[in-house]
Structure 1
């Protein structure tokens, strides 16, 4: 099986490439080729024994994407996007990358199939940002997509495109709406939700972190490890079981910021918690007010997707995977 990851230089793309390289297969199909593409050349997975193609290209360039799909991968992971805060701040860039890039990718697959029969599996990372307030206490699978941000709109339109191209038999697609991924490793990015990770990641290594919202803010979370599990499972799943509604809200953990902090206290102690400084930010608080707090995710769970049940586990996964099992500066 030949696999393409578009957006392979990002955090999830890197972790997915490492998991694929380690596993050497998707379900019962052997990995025979791996192409990693992003706006900057991705790094080679450390455990990859075979050949891997590392490409720097821009998904907003239709010709670049056409050449990428001409390699005819059996499985296409579409992770390429800019994050929520950046998409909101730069309207043109958000639509160029998050929407036009998606359309270029889908169209390249369609044109390749017109030349010679070709129907790959496409796994698209969407977002819970496709939903907008007001929300019920628990958001059911049939809740309508009414985004309140440009980023959410770009993802929602891409979901519709994925469903239609799948309906037309152009590819076999599945969209997975990721929870907020926490704890994100590395440095803070431009995602509006970044503080959810910042208030854990920095104190775990002895650094201060700023909390811009109230501790009673509730949100929907999963770890990077679970996100990669979602991607692997979506690639191997019999999509006939999914039916025509190809976009799924992933399982996660509903928790308040205060519950996050209490989990940090249990895992890392009071010293870590004291490194969090509360500085309210009105702009972020307004944005957070329109974010979904809890999902039912019954369809995804029935299809075998799963995530953490305790925030302590999310923190410990970060400590094990990113900090070598050690807490402190």
Structure 2
């Protein structure tokens, strides 16, 4: 089975690659080729380069190949789809904040290139499973309460608009039985390393990293800010579930699922961090609320995730488990 991961050098992509090398896709045939695509493979964060090198060294045949370049470029696409692809994880994107500042870059990477990728997938003789990392940004910044998979998408930023277009095209290609697609609407994933430039929700990871390292941090939202939380491990679990056991024939025509999340305030997260790291580390966190960031990322409504749970998707379970997982990444 030939599996492709775009954005394989990124935060989520690296973790997905490690799991694919360790376990494969649940319920699916063993991997025969794993093609990893990114504009660069550099550490940190690691792109699983060490695991890739070990796998290549011990494999009887070349299982893993690294493709460096633009995943929408014709030459790269020719390599990607030779041999034909069975499962495609499309994770690569320019994050929302950066895409808003650099419109041309976001338009190219988040809209035009994915359409070329999906078009090439649809041109194969076999029908590939396509798992698309979409975003809750499709809902916009002024959100109704509650949200479910039937809530109308009204993106308020270019990033969300481009993700929504990708969902629509993937759903149409699936309707035509040219691909077997599923779009997963992801929240902010924690805990990203460093400052996570370009991610408006970077504070969600930064507060955890600061407490973990005993550093001072000024959080741009108030303790009362409510967010949707998912660990990297949970994210990868859900991506693999979408590629393997999921029966996509039962999905709605939109083929889009808003994943289950934990819903907690920053204050509740700080309390959980204090239980793990001590109150002194948490005391180094102060707040200077930015009205725009709080309105966009800190006023998340209730989420009705019953549809996603019906299809076997899951969140981290408890806030303490979320913290444990997030602080291990």
**TM-score exceeds 0.5:** yes
Name 2:248's counterpart in structure 1: 239
Q: 2:129·2:181 contact (CA, 8 Å) conserved in 1?
A: yes
Equivalents in 2 of 1:209, 1:234: separation in Å? 36
Equivalents in 2 of 1:105, 1:69: separation in Å? 10
- Residue 259, structure 1, aligned to residue 271, structure 2: no
Equivalents in 2 of 1:52, 1:67: separation in Å? 13
Equivalents in 2 of 1:128, 1:24: separation in Å? 27
Deviations 1:51-102 (A, max 9, x none): 2101101124344224322331211000010111111111111111001111
- Residue 75, structure 1, aligned to residue 87, structure 2: yes
Deviations 1:216-251 (A, max 9, x none): 111211110000000110001221232433110000
In the superposition, the TM-score normalised over structure 1's length comes to: 0.90
Q: 2:97·2:198 contact (CA, 8 Å) conserved in 1?
A: yes
Unaligned runs of 5+ in 1: 323-329
Name 1:315's counterpart in structure 2: 323
- Structure 2 vs 1, CA of residues 43 and 265 (structure 1 numbering), >3 Å: closer, same or farther? closer
Unaligned runs of 5+ in 2: 42-46
Q: 1:198·1:210 contact (CA, 8 Å) conserved in 2?
A: no
Equivalents in 2 of 1:195, 1:123: separation in Å? 27
Question: More displaced, 67-76 or 148-157?
Answer: 67-76
Where in structure 2 are the equivalents of 1:6-17 lying within 5 Å?
6-17=6-17
Q: Which SS does the other structure have where 2:49 is aligned?
A: coil
Task: Select which of 249, 260, 264 maps to 2:258.
Answer: 249
Where in structure 2 are the equivalents of 1:36-51 lying within 5 Å?
36-41=36-41, 42-44=47-49, 46=51, 48=55, 49-50=58-59, 51=63
Shift of the alpha carbon at 1:202? 1.6
Q: 1:223·1:314 contact (CA, 8 Å) conserved in 2?
A: yes
Q: Which SS does the other structure have where 2:174 is aligned?
A: helix
Name 1:218's counterpart in structure 2: 226
In the superposition, the TM-score normalised over structure 2's length comes to: 0.90
Where in structure 2 are the equivalents of 1:1-329 lying within 5 Å?
1-41=1-41, 42-44=47-49, 46=51, 48=55, 49-50=58-59, 51-111=63-123, 113=124, 117-236=125-244, 237-288=246-297, 292-319=300-327, 321-322=328-329
Shift of the alpha carbon at 1:44? 2.9
Q: Which SS does the other structure have where 1:261 is aligned?
A: helix
Shift of the alpha carbon at 1:156? 0.9
Q: 1:132·1:292 contact (CA, 8 Å) conserved in 2?
A: no
Question: More displaced, 28-37 or 120-129?
Answer: 28-37
Question: More displaced, 128-137 or 91-100?
Answer: 128-137
